[in-house]
Structure formats: C-alpha cells, structure tokens
Amino acid sequence: MGTIDTGGGEHALIATDPTCWLSRNPRAMRVARRAQNIRTMDAASQAGGDVAWANLATACISDAFFQGPSEQLQVDLVTCGDPTSYAEAMSSPESTQWRKAMMEEWDAILRNKTFQAFQEQEYPTENGAPVNPTEFESLTSLQIPGDIKPISSKWVFKTKLNPDGTTRYKVRLVIRGFQQAAGVDFLETYAPVSKLSTFRFILALAARNGWHIDHLDVVTAFLNPVIDCETVFMSLPPGMAWVDPRFKRVQFVRLRKALYGLRQAPRLWYEEIHRFLLSIGLVQSTVDSNLYQGK
C-alpha cells in the first residue's frame, strides 16, 4: 500500500501494489482516495479533531477497502461520476436519463435557431410542421469555404442536486472554443464582470431597508445572442444519428447564435442582455457596468 500521514495534514492512502485493482483504474483510484479522505475527516471529528489518531484508526479500514472490495463495489467506483463522452453516457446505467437530457438540450437549440444546416432553409421545418423525410433528404448541405476549418463540438454531461435531494441530469452541447483562430473565428471576447463589492453593497442596502430580493436564472443564456460579425462553422458531435436522424448526413453547420464554449459568447450575451435592460427603462451604472437601476 502507500503511506499514512500521521501529522496534521489530510490523510491520503495510495495503492502502489501493481496487482491492486485500483492501480489499474485511475478514475476509481481518485474516487477511492476521496472516500478515504472523507472517512478520515469523519473519524477526526469524532476523535475531537485529533487527525493523527484518526489516520491510524482509518488505516485498518484502508487495507480492507483497497485490497478486498466486493465486485459490485468495484463496478460502482469505476462507473461513478459524470460521463466524459457520448459513448460512456450511453453505456452507463443512467443512459435513459442522459438520453432525455440530450433531447431537452437539442430541442432548445432548434427552438432558438442556433445554427443553419442547409442552403435552402435553416431548419427541417416548414411553418412549424415537420418536413417529410423525403423532402428533407433533398435539401442541400452547406458548403464550407476552403480557408475556414470547422470547429469540433462535444456533449458535456453533468449531474446536479436539486433542493429536494433528487438528482438532475443536465447535458450541454458545447463547441471547442480552444480551436478558434483569432481574427478568423472571433474578434472581441471581452465582457465586463460584476464586482463583488457591488453585490455586497446591494445586500447591505436590502438588509438595512428590509427589501425583498428576487433571483433570476436565464435558461440557456448563451443560446440567445446572435453572432454579429464572425463566421463560425461547427462540426456536429457524435450521436446525431440517434438524437435527430434528420441530421445524420450533416457534417457541419454554421452558427447563427452563440453556443457554450464559444470564445465570444460572454461578450455576445453581455451585449444582448445590456440592450434588453436598457429597452425596459433601466439605467446602467457608471461605477459598475453590470449594475442597472430604475429611473
């Protein structure tokens, strides 16, 4: 096995035996380490904060945990955590939940008219009604200019905990913005960030005057602003044959609106929300660009 820190630091036990099953699974190793650290902190709290004693106490648990876990525990450790790819999500026990979350994300993308996939029309819909598959096959895919390279994309899978304790499965289609070239795929990326001091000042005013504070979360915020001056082509991620069979022959699309991962997405969203807030009569602060107040 590894070493046990009997000082005042955090306990970390490392399996160094090459025959240990954890040594062959780096991902499971990280999860096991986390579990051991939690055990140590729990033992330390029960021992009145004596971390050295807790490390020695959990050493007995460590040998059994790393050397002789049940087969089901090994499977749980290897498969736990969020999937890192489409193939991993579809082969996981939660594949049904991930499929549903993918469809919700795809529906939001189509509803916001995020991209253009065909020369004749932007989407395989006509007046809100689905196009006949035979008519859809007759549409012409976009032709990408020779000097532009499409940027790849991927599905990002995340689980979140709801206030009631249930698990929420969330999927985002993101573009790999690190492949963008300055001056070609993007120009300006700057977007002002709200100051923490401003937020604290508002909370202090609300507490002093007994104001009611409302919180607003914009769903799929980055899918709203339109890309103004850049031309961005994106290749579709794996799994399109299942997500939307109508796009199985489409290799790339042209983005009309921002997408998560796009370098200029924060700037585009800031400009979009800035115009909206001004249109409803709010005035931008001269001290903080992200503070707006009524007249």
Is residue 186 included in any domain, yes or no?
yes
Supply the range of the domain harboring residue 204.
Answer: 86-294
Residues 56, 194 within the same domain? no
Q: Which of 79, 96, 115 is the endpoint of a domain?
A: 79
In 153-251, the DSSP E strands lie at 153-161, 167-175, 233-235
Instruction: Please choose, from the candidates 263, 290, 288, 285, the residue with its C-alpha nearest in 3D space to the C-alpha of residue 274.
Output: 290
Residues 72, 106 within the same domain? no
Residues 71, 103 within the same domain? no
The 10s digit of each residue's pLDDT in 169-215 is 999 999 999 988 887 778 888 898 888 999 999 999 999 999 999 88
The pTM is what? 0.63
Residues 228, 212 within the same domain? yes
Helix (H) or strand (E) holding 157: strand 153-161
Residues 91, 199 within the same domain? yes
Is residue 14 included in any domain, yes or no?
no
The 10s digit of each residue's pLDDT in 70-121 is 554 444 444 457 888 999 999 988 899 999 999 999 988 888 888 888 776 5
The number of folded domains in the chain is 2
| pLDDT confidence tier of residue 252, bands split at 50, 70 and 90 | confident
Residues 96, 54 within the same domain? no
Residues 181, 287 within the same domain? yes
Is residue 13 included in any domain, yes or no?
no
The 10s digit of each residue's pLDDT in 146-163 is 777 889 999 999 998 888
Summary count for the chain: helices (H), strands (E): 9, 9
DSSP one-letter code for 237: P
Residues 264, 190 within the same domain? yes
